[in-house]
Structure 1
Amino acid sequence: MTFLRLILALAGLATATGAEQRPNVLFILTDDQGYTTLSSYGNTLVPTPHLDRLAAAGARFTDAYVMPQCTPTRAAFLTGQHTARTRLWHVIPWYGTPWAPVREPAYAELLPRDTFTFPKALRAAGYVTGMAGKWHLTNGADGNYVALKPEAARHYGFDFSAPPGPGSQNEGDKHVDYLTDHAIAFMRQHRAHPWFFYLAHHTLHGKVSAPVALVEKYRARGAPATGLHNATYLAAIEHLDHSIGRLLAAIDELHLAERTLIVFLSDNGGIYQAYDVKPFTEGPGTATQLAVATEEFRNAPLRAGKGSPYEGGIRVPCLARWPGVIAPGTVSAFPIHVVDWAPTILALAGAAPPSAQTLDGTDLLPLLRGGAVPAHPLYWHLPLYDLRWGATPCAVIRDGDWKLIDYFGDSFDAAGRYRAGARVELFNLRSDLGETTDLAAREPARARQLQSQLRRWLGTVGAEIPGANPHHDPARALKETRVKPSHLTVVP
């Protein structure tokens, strides 16, 4: 080999090695998994040793936030934008409460193919990208609740999408093993190249299901067959934890641990109590008292659960491990939001969005590396009714220890009683994590300041602040329907 060829070969090797050393990202998003379902967050009913090991080897975030339901969190994660911008603040396919006192703004009913997603930028930067599991951002040709169709994956930034698993995702182990197998196979196939994999589990979404032997194990220990902390729910947590152990073992076997960021996150809070929706779907829609239909797992000390603007609906477990970057045993109380992960992953990959693309999140790399990022408020726009969770149109701001909920026209109190009229609620999360004491009347100046700050933010993102509904019908005020009335704008 000539000297020139040797230099060129070494240069090529250096380039390839540099590309290979860019960190991989395994992002695990679970479904309806509440804050207290991990041992490291206080769960004493189910051991979660593999998730505990992940926390011990990296960071545990005590103040990690998402949107309160499935579709909105998934949209915010992939786009890096608040749902106030994308209009994907509502679960799809369409349903609504079109005769309520407050007008629900029209929401987007799918994620368009031409939407920027950060996996598109990763692909452009040379990453191999893949996903497996719950999609819930389109209906029809490209995929649905269960999965993104493999042939449509490229339109959303993925080189690979696992096909739907065998049978129903509501049976057996809810495809936990199937999806984990695909993640491991992807890592094996692409271990020589930088990769991103989005593993979106169906567990713990209802209908909760788990391997029979594990269910029987918890029944034998005295867990009830149904209801709060039932055996199937506990078994599903253990089975999910086991799958995390399989992933960690595969990464170790492939010698990828030191250059792989693993993030574990839930898409919304867990279901402590779900309300009976029949009075609003089958009845006239005039009921004004919520009644509990099911109970699954307590979110205490957090208030409420899935679908709610209270902490139990939006604060979730979040773990991150990256050996050599994240110090083992880190516990961070810095408030982070699901929109922060897009700019963070792009930054670590050396990738960037198009110049005109707005990302609403904050790059968390300095925080992961043991430094700091500037304190900033977090925002939510939740302009919808969903009575199974007691939700009415509102927006939320958290700034430091303070949190304000701005109800645009009506609400339900802690006892499930309907209250007409706009109002704000103010909580100090440092002294009252359970949001038991509304301080709005005691701190009127602070409440006004936070509401004004929240309203200004809504204006900057072009969000519609819901007002009185011109089609309000007291005879069916809280009637939920899946048939869109003609007076509503059709949004693609």
Structure 2
Amino acid sequence: MYTTLIQKIGLLIPLLLWMACSTSSTEDQTAPDILFILADDLGLETLTSYGGTSYSTPNLDQIAREGVLLKHLYSMPLCTPSRVQLLTGKYNDETYRGFGILDTSFTTLPDYLKDAGYRSYIIGKWQLYGNEYQRKLAGQGGSTPEQAGFDYHYVWQMDTLGSRYYRPTITENGHTQTFSGGYGPDYFAGKLNSLMHQAAAFPRFFFYSMVLTHDPFLPAPEVPGAEDSIRSNPANFASMVTAMDREIGILLQAAREHPRPLLLIFMSDNGTDQQIESICNGEIVQGGKGLPNDRGTHVPGFVWYPDSITGNSVYEGLIDFTDLIPTLLDASHQVNNRYDGPGQSFWRGLMHQSQPGRDAIYCSYDPHWGPWKAATFAQDRTWKLYTDGRFYHLPTDPEELSPLADSILDETVTERKARLKELLSRHGYPY
């Protein structure tokens, strides 16, 4: 009996050692710090990596060379709809209450990450609590960063507008201050840079919600007399793109110096302001912010994670903003998480592993704000179907000027249209 017991223990020891090593390795992988950067009103036509030639963005170009370019990333056409979708991982027909409003009842990205021990920091634009007019229009208030799950905030536009650029108004953990000088983006990037260099015994999620390149179009600090500028002029957009890229460079260097593995993701919340024209792939492209077409929703994105992801590559899969939460949960190896939304992780695809891709994306857009018109549609890389029946071939008609009649569709296209119809019907839009 004694010999048998010793033999059993001898068999168990290698197994226990393997489990210990396996657990240690998993723990190392489950806690990458995450830096998510969301640019404001930056269409993909503005970036060299997507064929843009109007502006210089060397730091974003470097991220593209060292990381993965997201070729088919789709946002909502406007900022609040995009941010609500990102933070909840659910579509606007379920979660959107009004412009500038994030309902407090929804579980958010920081809430999900908190389950894995993360602490979350929001730096930059907030605009989800709602000012007095927005709350009246929506019939309810929004969320503070704390109510949305963030442990720390340093933000512009809590419930006070103020300036986001020169002499900015910034709220830090509930305390609001208007500075007598300086440039808002420099305050934000400086604060984030400082936080990233602080040691921590827990994984951290940094959300840098940039104020650049949203209007007013004011010159960057490098331009003489910039701090005294008060008049918005689209001619200043180029210097704002340069300033944005400079901030990215500061954070990229901080990422390189970071003491633990860091996953960096860059996206934009919607297309460029319609006042801006840029050159992309040899053509003049007008900004499409607020519009449900490609100029308003097809946005740039990069993923940088040199410890695990092969650089200078392109991810061809379809992505919409509901996909961020499940992707980050996969990146943190939360196998049994409580996310129950429609988002689909693209993490394994980034790792060049086999993963079923998203077949199509769905968009429900009704901002209840400004001149923007409501639209609901489903699309893939090639075809797009609106609930009013308009059907477009995107490669030849990106401006959506010539809807296709059923009578000219072949069997393959008819089948594809039927699949988009089925997606719309699942969201309550039967034909």
Could you tell me the TM-score, scaled by structure 1's length?
0.68
SS across alignment from 1:130: strand
2:322: which partner in 1? 339
1:83: which partner in 2? 92
List gaps (5 residues or longer) in structure 2.
1-18, 136-142, 168-181, 227-231
1:255 shift after superposition: 3.8
Aligned match for 1:377, one of 348, 360, 369:
360
Q: Is the 8 A contact 2:89 2:322 kept in 1?
A: yes
Q: What per-residue deviation string (whole Å, max 9, x for no partner) do you get for residues 61-100 of structure 1?
A: 1211100000111011111111122134x533xxxxxxxx
Letter in 1 for 2:265: V
Q: Is the 8 A contact 1:59 1:329 kept in 2?
A: yes
CA–CA distance in 2 between the matches of 1:15 and 1:162? 36
CA–CA distance in 2 between the matches of 1:309 and 1:447? 22
Aligned match for 1:111, one of 78, 87, 102:
102
2:243 is the counterpart of 1:243: no
1:401: which partner in 2? 382
1:332 shift after superposition: 2.2
2:297 is the counterpart of 1:314: yes
Q: Is the 8 A contact 1:39 1:47 kept in 2?
A: yes
SS across alignment from 1:178: helix
Q: Is the 8 A contact 2:383 2:391 kept in 1?
A: no
1:169: which partner in 2? 164
CA–CA distance in 2 between the matches of 1:432 and 1:215? 43
CA–CA distance in 2 between the matches of 1:459 and 1:380? 13
Q: Which moved more, 1:26-35 or 1:161-170?
A: 161-170
CA–CA distance in 2 between the matches of 1:435 and 1:24? 41
1:269: which partner in 2? 271
1:365 shift after superposition: 1.0
Q: Is the 8 A contact 2:45 2:52 kept in 1?
A: yes
Matched pairs, number: 378
SS across alignment from 1:179: helix
Distance 1:240 1:303, change over 3 A: closer
2:199 is the counterpart of 1:234: no
Distance 1:327 1:20, change over 3 A: closer
Q: What per-residue deviation string (whole Å, max 9, x for no partner) do you get for residues 270-289 of structure 1?
A: 12x3xxxxxxxxxxxxxxxx
Q: Is the 8 A contact 2:126 2:155 kept in 1?
A: no
Q: Is the 8 A contact 2:69 2:303 kept in 1?
A: yes
Q: Which moved more, 1:300-309 or 1:367-376?
A: 300-309
SS across alignment from 1:374: coil
SS across alignment from 1:244: helix
Could you tell me the TM-score, scaled by structure 2's length?
0.76
Q: Is the 8 A contact 1:302 1:311 kept in 2?
A: no
Letter in 2 for 1:351: Q
1:472: which partner in 2? none
1:216 shift after superposition: 8.3
Aligned match for 2:190, one of 173, 181, 187:
181
User: Any residues of structure 2 matched to 1:146-161 within 5 Å, and which?
Assistant: 152-161=144-153
1:374 shift after superposition: 1.9
SS across alignment from 2:70: strand
Letter in 2 for 1:443: L
Distance 1:140 1:310, change over 3 A: closer
CA–CA distance in 2 between the matches of 1:73 and 1:394? 14
Distance 1:214 1:329, change over 3 A: farther
1:439: which partner in 2? 404
Q: Is the 8 A contact 1:81 1:359 kept in 2?
A: yes
2:126: which partner in 1? 135
CA–CA distance in 1 between the matches of 2:341 and 2:360? 15
Identity %: 27
CA–CA distance in 2 between the matches of 1:209 and 1:87? 31
1:326 shift after superposition: 1.7
Q: Is the 8 A contact 1:69 1:91 kept in 2?
A: no
Root-mean-square deviation (Å): 3.5
Distance 1:210 1:248, change over 3 A: same
2:51: which partner in 1? 42
CA–CA distance in 1 between the matches of 2:61 and 2:242? 12
SS across alignment from 1:50: helix
1:333 shift after superposition: 2.5
Q: Is the 8 A contact 1:174 1:209 kept in 2?
A: no
1:123 shift after superposition: 1.4
Letter in 2 for 1:440: A
CA–CA distance in 2 between the matches of 1:187 and 1:18? 23
Q: Is the 8 A contact 1:26 1:260 kept in 2?
A: yes
CA–CA distance in 2 between the matches of 1:329 and 1:32? 25
1:254: which partner in 2? 258
1:378 shift after superposition: 0.5
Distance 1:52 1:385, change over 3 A: same
SS across alignment from 1:61: strand
Letter in 2 for 1:315: H
CA–CA distance in 2 between the matches of 1:384 and 1:73? 10
Q: Which moved more, 1:360-369 or 1:11-20?
A: 11-20
Q: Is the 8 A contact 1:303 1:435 kept in 2?
A: no
1:171 shift after superposition: 3.3
CA–CA distance in 2 between the matches of 1:202 and 1:48? 17
1:360: which partner in 2? 342
List gaps (5 residues or longer) in structure 1.
1-10, 93-109, 145-150, 218-224, 274-293, 408-422, 466-492
1:371 shift after superposition: 2.6
Distance 1:384 1:71, change over 3 A: closer
2:203 is the counterpart of 1:201: no
CA–CA distance in 2 between the matches of 1:392 and 1:444? 32
Q: What per-residue deviation string (whole Å, max 9, x for no partner) do you get for residues 142-196 of structure 1?
A: x99xxxxxx9433211111114499611437862111112222221224443111
Aligned match for 2:392, one of 426, 441, 464:
426
Q: What per-residue deviation string (whole Å, max 9, x for no partner) do you get for residues 416-446 of structure 1?
A: xxxxxxx5131243x4445454333532877
Q: Which moved more, 1:300-309 or 1:441-450?
A: 441-450
Letter in 2 for 1:127: Y
Distance 1:353 1:132, change over 3 A: farther
Aligned match for 1:323, one of 289, 302, 306:
306
Letter in 2 for 1:176: P
1:97: which partner in 2? none
